[in-house]
Structure 1
């Protein structure tokens, strides 16, 4: 319940179509793609940086939680209002402020969709490399909040590598400007990279200066089918050792392939138990060299077939269908996005198989193999408490394996609320205390997305 005085001030400042208090209206902002539900007490839709400042100052005055939110496509519970308060939806800050082809820059507000940025950049011969599977629906503010990646991160990197500067409002209501307009700049601390991936816990981003990349002149796809997992994972290691870096390298295990067969029955050889979807891009004269090298890297006793794909669009359509298909058959699945060094992928995937067999769980794995970023899906019945308990123990051991292999617990989804209990597996207490102190400087009253990222303090 919001304080009466705060309600009065907000009603005086914002029209009814930009300030929801009816629980029915607020319900759409109670969940994200984690499928958990925490209704906010109210929802606000700012249009300007100054309005964001006013909201932050008022929430500070009344010590009310304020949860910044993009389009709710996140899977880690990062935008859930677990303690009530106000959901701050940035979805109506939709202006592309400027397009500067000469400097390869777009400046945009946080509510602009990833796809809108791509559409604006394309006529000038550029694109913005971060391409999460939700690119058509997710906002750049949300992409920045989680440092989103996607298939092309193997060559181009994640969001962190493609943001030059930000404007943001801290938890104290101060407007800060980070970074610069140039690709070189070393004045002061790198606050831009600090805010990227901070999941709205330090400041509310209100403007982003995005670095564009040139569209490749040629793109080609390759599919490689294997009759066993070990041959497939060895091919991944071989490909990533090549000087010709693929622009995307996606892995699908037997469980993923069975899902695709259900939707696209004639797409795959029947004896395929692991598959790679590979993309190369660049100049026309380089493509054939890259294809030849990658096909040779796939060669092994377990290779069924490897060839250039005639239709790369159909290839990605099948790959992007996986997450929706999984939600259809297991809406409460446990979905993780761990990362391990590419050279340890054979060891990691073999360990996953052992653990899922040991705990008698159905496991489907796919993901961005070129980065070692695997989406681990444990398909469970949430009404079966014994199975849920087994899944939790299995997940704990999966995370232990990831850390043992010098990996990380999240590559692109963030921590949010779903992974915070496991953070101490990766980050020591001294470093965590330093991070908490940084949070205190930016947000001394802990109003911005409280409870996220950090595990509970003992």
Structure 2
């Protein structure tokens, strides 16, 4: 329970419709897409930076955990109030403060949806490149907190590449401004990039200055089908070695294709065991050259067919539906977004197949192959304790494989609570200690999202 003094202070600060203390109302904020449940003692809905600051100061006074939250679409447990306390929902901070076409900038509050940003800037001929699969219902605050990516990161980069500056409230209750309004700026430390991907452990973002990119003139799609994953991985290496970079390069394994076939029986060749969905953008002349080069790069021993796609929108819809469809195979998915160098993909995909056979687990893999970012999905029955144990052992081996191949444990989902036990595999002790010291500098009482990231 919250101290009566804290509840009274929050009631004085926020109207009743912006402060939940009823356990039934709070339950909605007890989970994210990790499907684990940790109810908060209260949920606060600030509308301004000053209100966020006041809530942070109250939580410091009472040493109360405060967990910033966007729309709860994360898969790594980053927004779970594991220690109770207050869930700080930023979903009602919905203002777009300015759209500046001349400087290619939009300034918005953290609760604004990714899709709302796209709709607002498309009128001016721009887009904001981060495009996670949850873009239609995830907020830019959440995208920034997790360092979100998406299919088009292969050409345009991730969230870190498209944020110029931030306004935030530190865990100590100080309002800070990081970065600048211009695309050039080297004054002081780059605190903007430090906060991006920090998962609400350092500060609460209350305003973001985002860098926009011009919409391409044309977009073309290519589909390539392969008899096996090995030949598909070779094609990925050949495509990424081209001077003409695709704007998206998605890999789907046999398990992914079977899920699509169950819902779209005539969409895919029956003998395909791996697939690439490729997108190219640019001017008409650029598109022609890029498509020709990519089709040529797809020619490996296992190629079944590679053609320019007539209906790329239908394919993207099927691709984005894959994650929820996994529950048709098993009730629980252990979803990891590991990354390896593109040149290591043949070794990685082959080793994944061996590990899933060794541990007798259903495994479906798909993802952003152009970045080497593969979403590994181990599919299990959580009520089968023996199978769950095998999955944990397999996952440990997968992470060791990723590190051996000079990869990273997370490309866009973050660490949260789901991967914190494994972070030592990638980050050495001196570096972890430095990160913990940075955390304490921003948040001396450890009230912001305590327990996340670190083992």
Q: What whole-Å deviation, never above 9, does each CA across 1:187-221 have from its counterpart, x for those lacking one?
A: 00000000000000000000000000000000000
Question: Equivalent residue for 2:167?
Answer: 167
Question: Equivalent residue for 1:213?
Answer: 213
Where 1:177 maps in the other structure, the secondary structure is: strand
Question: Equivalent residue for 1:91?
Answer: 91
- Check conservation: 1:440, 1:446, Cα contact below 8 A: yes
CA distance in 2, matches of 1:327, 1:152: 26
1:418 aligns with 2:428: no
Give the C-alpha shift of residue 16 in structure 1: 1.1
CA distance in 1, matches of 2:182, 2:157: 18
- Check conservation: 2:219, 2:282, Cα contact below 8 A: yes
Question: Equivalent residue for 1:188?
Answer: 188
Question: Equivalent residue for 1:399?
Answer: 399
Give the C-alpha shift of residue 328 in structure 1: 4.4
Question: Normalised by the size of structure 1, how large is the TM-score?
Answer: 0.99
1:368 aligns with 2:368: yes
- Check conservation: 1:32, 1:80, Cα contact below 8 A: yes
Question: Equivalent residue for 1:36?
Answer: 36
Give the C-alpha shift of residue 301 in structure 1: 2.1
Give the C-alpha shift of residue 12 in structure 1: 1.5
Question: Normalised by the size of structure 2, how large is the TM-score?
Answer: 0.99
CA distance in 2, matches of 1:217, 1:8: 56
Where 1:164 maps in the other structure, the secondary structure is: strand
Where 2:68 maps in the other structure, the secondary structure is: strand
1:379 aligns with 2:370: no
Q: What whole-Å deviation, never above 9, does each CA across 1:283-338 have from its counterpart, x for those lacking one?
A: 11111111110000001221110000001111101110101111344342100000
Q: Which runs of 5+ in 1 are unaligned?
A: none
- Check conservation: 2:232, 2:275, Cα contact below 8 A: yes
Question: Equivalent residue for 1:123?
Answer: 123
Q: Which runs of 5+ in 2 are unaligned?
A: none
* Superposition misfits of 4+ residues, deviation over 4 angstroms: none
Q: What whole-Å deviation, never above 9, does each CA across 1:221-244 have from its counterpart, x for those lacking one?
A: 000000111110000000000000
CA distance in 2, matches of 1:81, 1:15: 22
1:25 aligns with 2:25: yes
Give the C-alpha shift of residue 43 in structure 1: 0.2
- Check conservation: 2:331, 2:382, Cα contact below 8 A: no
CA RMSD of aligned residues (A): 0.6
CA distance in 2, matches of 1:383, 1:98: 50
Alignment of 1:287-302 (within 5 A): 287-302=287-302
Q: What whole-Å deviation, never above 9, does each CA across 1:399-420 have from its counterpart, x for those lacking one?
A: 0000000000000000000000
Where 2:204 maps in the other structure, the secondary structure is: strand
Where 1:266 maps in the other structure, the secondary structure is: coil
1:156 aligns with 2:156: yes
